[in-house]
Chains A and B, each alone.
Chain A
Amino acid sequence: MSRKRTLPDVYRSRKRVCATPANHSSQEALNTNGVDWNDGESSNHIDNSIVPNDTSCALAYLKNLFPVEKFEGRLPPIILQHQLYAIVSNRTLVDQQLMELRNCGKIKLFKLGSEASEFCVLYADDYKSHVRKFIQNMSLNQAVIEKFLTSVVDQCQDISLSKHKLMTELKFKDEEVTQLVKACVLTVRDVGSWWMAFPGAGIFMKSFIRGRKAVLMMIRKCKYKEIIREELKSRKLPRIARLGMEYHIHDLIGADLVECVPTTSGMLLRLQE
């Protein structure tokens, strides 16, 4: 147990690199009964709309990793929330920025399956184009879906919808709701409530679970149940796992299924019991 733990910078014993303006503000902060509030001030001057934040960059990178061509266009690029934790180290920051992006309407979050809390992130535009492509192939009432896309998807940022909201607030009828469930945009959660969903989730989950199992098996077979990241990347996945090794590595690290240990030969991934 190390005796030195990172104390919050209460003693301000380290000299500030910035010039006098910061010093004046820190003196003021000393007089106000609290910790220095001006730490993050310089970053506010950056125009947030131009420079994408950490989470958006990570999302864009992961979107590129997703092999859309392997699924013959049946799936949009899907990113899992915990993959972002593997790239950006501060998890709370990732959560907060995801919240901001959701409120702007740029991305949508979906809850996958019944296991714990696996959320997947889809870009809003990808989601809408995917849904429209899906319903063209099936003989469904397109007007209902369009109404859903404009009223619910654009305005409502929740993961699940209740009967009260759908029927009374948004004026969807029972048959329309059935159509939506048939179109795989809604999944039954409980008696009067539904999860938001996207069509093709099953195909994705099958590939994903198989791939994850295969990668974990690979690590488990290693001596001491650990492997260097570069070596794992060079190994080939079986045909059923179509998502690619990089995608799965990010997933395993973010979900805390493997522990990252920095070594002199690179990053070591050790299986967590």
Chain B
Amino acid sequence: MVPTMSGENTVREIGHDEFDPKGTLVLILVYFGVLSVMWVFMYFVEFLGNDLTVLV
């Protein structure tokens, strides 16, 4: 049989039903937060930071 366990460092086996990836959820929410802030920042850098371009 293929081993399901993952090495000697395993302290406890956690099956599918006991596992609830809350940490992952937090990290992904943080990432979305960073993305939103960067978008806003982009607006300031590009549109307000640059002078108007005169079309001739």
Please say whether chains A and B are actual partners in one complex: no
> Which residues of A are at the interface with B, using a C-beta cutoff of 8 A?
none
> Which residues of B are at the interface with A, using a C-beta cutoff of 8 A?
none
